[in-house]
């Protein structure tokens, strides 16, 4: 695949909500779109994982607003195993076509302290030799701002 074809993929994320209490559910929606003029074959498995693990196509990077990387999630990493790659896990995206997935950020990347964070998703599909024409490389979304507020105090029983 030519570098021009790979550059024709756009990756976006949205967080719902983007301001939440500590421990609240945070839905992360991921969109991969062919913004080029030619069809592209992509790994559509979208297996979620971590930057330093195998068997993953998607992972997150979380930064504090200061720019420091957030790694506290490592204490709570999910033990996962991705579906094996096969020809069926690949899809052809015509120009303008897109694939979507979503996941619960707090399940995979628990944020344990209040503060302002920036989150991005990386699509780095696992190679699969029988489908050599599949897009490869590392594709990053823009950073999305996330504010985590202290958890609400429990009501007192008087």
- How many residues make up the chain in this entry? 158
Query: What confidence tens digit (pLDDT) does each residue in 19-48 have?
Result: 999 999 999 999 999 999 999 999 999 999
Select 3-147's CATH number: 3.30.450.40, 2.60.40.2970, 3.40.50.300, 2.60.40.420.
Answer: 2.60.40.2970
State residue 126's pLDDT score.
Answer: 85
Q: What is the pTM of this model?
A: 0.88
Query: What confidence tens digit (pLDDT) does each residue in 102-155 have?
Result: 999 999 999 999 999 999 999 999 888 889 899 999 999 999 999 999 987 767
Task: State whether residue 22 is helix, strand or coil.
Answer: coil
Q: How many helices and strands, by DSSP H and E, does the chain display?
A: 2, 10
> Hey, what are 142's tokens?
């823009």
Q: Are 131 and 90 in contact (CB under 8 A)?
A: yes
Instruction: Find, among 146, 82, 97, the residue nearest to 120 by Cα.
Output: 146
For the chain, give every domain's residue range: 3-147
Query: Model confidence at 3, in pLDDT bands (50, 70, 90)?
Result: very low
């Amino acid at each position: 695949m030519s570098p021009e074809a790979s550059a024709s993929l756009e990756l976006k994320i949205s967080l719902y909500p983007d301001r939440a209490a500590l421990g609240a559910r945070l839905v992360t929606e991921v969109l991969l779109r062919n913004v080029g003029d030619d069809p592209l074959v992509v790994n559509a498995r979208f297996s979620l994982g971590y930057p330093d693990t195998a068997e993953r196509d998607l992972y997150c990077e979380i930064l504090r607003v200061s720019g420091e990387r957030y790694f506290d999630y490592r204490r709570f990493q999910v033990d996962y195993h991705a579906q094996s790659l096969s020809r069926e896990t690949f899809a052809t995206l015509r120009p303008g076509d897109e694939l979507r997935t979503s996941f619960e950020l707090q399940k995979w990347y628990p944020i344990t302290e209040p503060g302002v964070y920036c989150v991005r998703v990386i699509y780095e599909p696992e190679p699969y030799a029988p489908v050599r024409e599949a897009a490869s490389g590392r594709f990053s979304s823009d950073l999305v701002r996330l504010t985590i507020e202290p958890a609400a105090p429990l009501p007192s029983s008087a």
